[in-house]
Amino acid sequence: MAGERIAVFDTTLRDGEQSPGCSMNLAEKVRMAQQLETLGVDVIEAGFPIASDGDFAAVRAVAAECRSVTVAALCRTSAPDVLRAAEALEHAAHPRIHTFVATSDLHLEYKLKKSRREVIEMTRQAVSLARECAQEVEFSAEDATRSDVDYLCEVFATAVAAGATIINVPDTVGYTMPVEFSRLIRRVREQVVGDRNVTISVHCHDDLGLAVANTLAAIEAGARQVECTINGIGERAGNASLEEIAMAMKVRADQLPFETAIQTQELYPTSQLLSSIIGCPVQPNKAIVGRNAFAHEAGIHQHGVISNPLCYEIMTPESVGVPTNNLVLGKHSGRHALALRYEDLGYSMQPAEVDEIYERFTSLADRKKHIYDQDLIALLQVGSATTERIATEAVTVGGSWAQSTRV
């Protein structure tokens, strides 16, 4: 059953990179962009060219490297901004100029010091100019969710009339709620889009932890492009997380009959690559890609998962690219293999501890032909002071996926 297609607009290299501790150099941005292309995103927003020479160079380099995706460059509404974005996209296979201006009275009065009329005029001019430079123009109304809705729709209508084919509704400050946001998207759809060939996009921030929920609500209300980042990085509390949106649609296709081009088995590798590039670990309990996302700690849960993973897993680790070790131990495996396997799982043991666990291992191997990682973890759980100590050590090791799997 093919659902309606949702375009994934990744802004890890722009909004994500803008957040503290997440900066990347040129080579790192290109490496990340290549992985995003492999992951299957539709659009890569590679930077804000007028903001710095580094951003300009990044957009150029990503545009030269990534030929199958659309490469977007961000700009404000002034002519030099738009022209700089266009210049950076000069050699892109599929360029998109993404221009934005704030539409809330708060921003108009305190930041832009412009009247509502002036902002409408700025929108018209920027979109028209962008349209002369690039085939595809996206327009964003910054702080849309705190803007007067009638005025917001008027600005969007102006952008569409001037040639924008993607209108983005950002929840810039992470303020909206799913039901409210869904109402807003419907209103924009009815009042601005109608039967025109214009895509509604959403860009949600996570200040109240609702970025993904708001994004999904918007899709149900008619949005067909989602702006998001890997690991949810971005300004302040971050952006909607790409991996969560993609997997919500995949796992709950019954509720959300939509499709993306995301290769979900690339989610974990992409998350790890970003994490290693920016030197910022993913929080352990992060949905989909956190190291505990598929770890089962409670004994009763482990028992359930060992009997049938469906008991506690709504998706498999493999489906999001979490590596699982195929090495299966059996009764002929020696102490060394066992110790190594535990080491891989993050448990370093002293020889005496290996001896102790090996005894339990062989007695299990007599009863069970193949011993899997889950069995090994369960073995540790046959509680003893030693086991507890091993588990504590494992937590402090940190690092790869399985290392903090503990009992």
Query: What is the contact surface with Zn ion in residues (CB under 5 A)?
Result: 15
DSSP states along 218-279: HHHHT--EEEEBGGG--STT-B-BHHHHHHHHHHTTTT--EE----GGGHHHHHHHHHHHHT
Beta-carbon count within 10 A of 175 CB: 17
Residue 265 C-beta: closest distance to Zn ion, Å: 28
Q: Select 10 or 15, whichever has its Cβ closest to Zn ion.
A: 15
Residue 112 C-beta: closest distance to Zn ion, Å: 17
Cβ atoms 120, 128 nearer than 8 A: no
Q: Select 140 or 182, whichever has its Cβ closest to Zn ion.
A: 140
Return the closest-CA partner of residue 177 out of 211, 223, 143: 211
Q: Select 45 or 136, whichever has its Cβ closest to Zn ion.
A: 45
Residue 148 C-beta: closest distance to Zn ion, Å: 21
Beta-carbon count within 10 A of 65 CB: 16
Residue 385 C-beta: closest distance to Zn ion, Å: 50
What is the C-alpha to C-alpha distance for residues 192 and 392, in angstroms, rounded to an integer? 58
Residue 216 C-beta: closest distance to Zn ion, Å: 18
Q: End-to-end distance of the chain based on CA atoms, in angstroms?
A: 41
Structure tokens at 27: 């080579």
Return the closest-CA partner of residue 60 out of 23, 22, 86, 78: 86
What is the C-alpha to C-alpha distance for residues 143 and 313, in angstroms, rounded to an integer? 38
Q: Select 139 or 401, whichever has its Cβ closest to Zn ion.
A: 139
What is the C-alpha to C-alpha distance for residues 241 and 159, in angstroms, rounded to an integer? 28
Beta strands at 7-10 and 136-142: parallel, antiparallel or unpaired? unpaired
Residue 98 C-beta: closest distance to Zn ion, Å: 11
CA 152 to chain centre: 27
Question: Which amino acid, one-letter code, is at 151?
Answer: Y
Residue 255 C-beta: closest distance to Zn ion, Å: 27
Q: Select 15 or 206, whichever has its Cβ closest to Zn ion.
A: 15
Q: Select 15 or 55, whichever has its Cβ closest to Zn ion.
A: 15
State phi, psi for 93 to the nearest 5 degrees: -70, -40
What is the C-alpha to C-alpha distance for residues 158 and 153, in angstroms, rounded to an integer? 9
Q: Select 166 or 345, whichever has its Cβ closest to Zn ion.
A: 166
Q: Select 15 or 28, whichever has its Cβ closest to Zn ion.
A: 15
b/e map 141-157, b = 16+ CB within 10 Å: bbbbbbbeeebbbbbbb
Residue 12 region by backbone torsions, left for phi larger than 0, else alpha for psi between -120 and 50, else beta: alpha
Q: Select 89 or 228, whichever has its Cβ closest to Zn ion.
A: 228
Residue 172 C-beta: closest distance to Zn ion, Å: 6
Residue 24 C-beta: closest distance to Zn ion, Å: 17
Residue 17 C-beta: closest distance to Zn ion, Å: 11
Position of minimal CB gap to Zn ion: 15
Q: Select 15 or 244, whichever has its Cβ closest to Zn ion.
A: 15
